[in-house]
Amino acid sequence: MEKYSVKAGDIISLLQSRLEKSSVIIPTTNDEGGVGLVSLEDAEDSLNVSELVDMFRPLHPLKTFLMAPREQVATFPERMEVDIEQKYTLFGFKACSANHIRLLDNIMLDDEWPDEFYRQRKENILLITCDCTEVRETCFCTEVYLAPHPTTGNFDLNIARVGEKFIIEVESEKGRAALDELDIQPVEATKRLLERLEEQRSRAATEVAEQNKEYKIDENIHHAVRNNRDADIFSEKAADCVECGGCNLVCTSCYCFFLADRPEGKETFKRFRVWDSCQYTSYARMGGGENPREYLFERVRHRIAHKYDYLKESFDFYGCTGCGRCIDTCPADIDIRELLQGAQQ
């Protein structure tokens, strides 16, 4: 992977140049200290590059740009052609978001049934991630054997701030092309600067691991989840759950949806795809009213089993990257780490 030293002004130039080709989305903070997203055109005139790079991961999931929450996917009797024109440059997402893409790719770009909507949206995105320098109490990426910096690829460019300097890593041809279009001369990062980067990354990973010591999530958690389906923790947490589905909707790796047909006259209809949540009562309900997951504790258990057992068995990695969005979102203060800990007992 190529690593270069660039200036703050070079990063601003990169973002501004992308406005000619795409919508540019950057992180922003709200009055409550949360992190959201805003268009570069709607942002403040003066951008602080250090603050943008260091900002905590946004609550909005990356999948919003890969899988629309609601979209038309078919018409009848005429065939609908897929042509996604919207292009995005996404700046400031973290490794936990990029890591989700490898799961979505396995699901949505399956050789037999590739999803053309997903494929085109992904092609239309330039993803510029940033290293994590701020660790919050809901972060637990190290507990699922990842890190607060890129380890699995799935990004185009990554930016890390080391003191007053910035290091940009080139992962893809798309990222290389974006840099080549600029009138800047990135300098190859020096050995000492790269050493400082690794020291900084090691400190961040250690901080995440240290704050999660109390949860003691075992490396064989998938076996525990599979073998302890009757663990009390599922019923205990289900008693607090309000079935809002927020944990699924903010999770970048949750990909479930339902299809709904809407008549357009007497002989035509449009089909829409809408995000779904496995925590909803209606999620597994079938024709005739049968429901294999009628009780909420069964749905709470299914969510954990899917992320930590089924997907691990299918792809050899977990369907969770430890981003903590579900913890931040839950109005009942349900912590997925406590569910995992309870499943091990």
**pLDDT at residue 293 in the model:** 95
How many CB atoms sit inside 10 A of residue 131's CB? 23
Q: How far is Cα 203 from Cα 201, in angstroms, rounded to an integer?
A: 5
How many angstroms separate the CA atoms of 299 and 247, rounded?
A: 12
**Using one digit for the tens of pLDDT, what is the confidence trace for 237-253?**
999 999 999 999 999 99
Mean pLDDT rounded to a whole number for the chain: 94
Q: What is the mean pLDDT of residues 192-204?
A: 96
Considering only 209-218, 237-246, 321-330, which range has the smallest mean pLDDT?
209-218
Q: 69-128 pLDDT, tens per residue?
A: 999 999 999 999 999 999 999 999 999 999 999 999 999 999 999 999 999 999 999 999
Where does the pLDDT of residue 34 fall: very low under 50, low under 70, confident under 90, or very high at 90 and above? confident
**What's the pLDDT score for residue 75?**
94
Q: Yes or no: say if 52 and 28 are a contact pair by the CB < 8 Å rule.
A: no
* Tokens at 188, concatenated: 């190859």
265 pLDDT band, cuts 50/70/90, is confident
- Please classify residue 13 by burial: count the beta carbons closer than 10 Å to its beta carbon, then call 0-12 exposed, 13-18 middle and 19+ buried: middle
- Whether pLDDT at 185 is above 80: no
Strands 125-130 and 88-93, by their bridges, are parallel
Of the pLDDT bands very low, low, confident and very high (cuts 50, 70, 90), residue 32 is: confident
Q: Look at residue 217 in the predicted model and tell me its pLDDT.
A: 83
pLDDT of residue 18: 95
pLDDT-based confidence at residue 158 (cuts at 50, 70, 90)? very high
Please say whether the beta carbons of 308 and 221 come within 8 A.
yes
Mapping DSSP onto H, E and C, the string for the chain reads CEEEEECHHHHHHHHHHHCCCCEEEEEEECCCCCEEEEEHHHCCCCCCHHHHHHCCCCCCCHHHHCCCCEEEEEEECCCCCCCCCCCEEEEEECHHHHHHHHHHHHHHCCCCCCCHHHHHHHHCEEEEEECCCCCCCCCCHHHHCCCCCCCCCCCCEEEEEECCEEEEEECCHHHHHHHHCCCCCCEECCHHHHHHHHHHHHHHHHHHHHHCHHHCCCCCHHHHHHHCCCCHHHHHHHCCCCCCCHHHHCCCCCCCEEEEEEECCCCCEEEEEEECCCCCCCCCCCHHHCCCCCCHHHHHHHHHHHHHHHHHHHHCCCCCCCCCHHHHHCCCCCCHHHHHHHHCC
Cβ partners under 8 Å of residue 42, min gap 6: none
Phi (first) and psi of residue 37, to 5 degrees: -130, 150
How confident is the model over 268-300, as pLDDT tens digits?
Answer: 999 999 999 999 999 999 989 899 999 999 999
Residue 132: how many other CB atoms lie within 10 Å:
25
pLDDT of residue 153: 85
Residue 61, preceding bond cis, omega within 30 degrees?
no
Distance separating alpha carbons of residues 152 and 312, to the nearest angstrom: 16
pTM of the model: 0.94
Answer whether residue 1 shows pLDDT above 80.
no
Which residue matches tokens 């977990």?
Answer: 318
pLDDT band with cut points at 50, 70 and 90 for residue 47: confident
The reported pLDDT for the residue numbered 182 is 85
pLDDT at 186 over 90: no
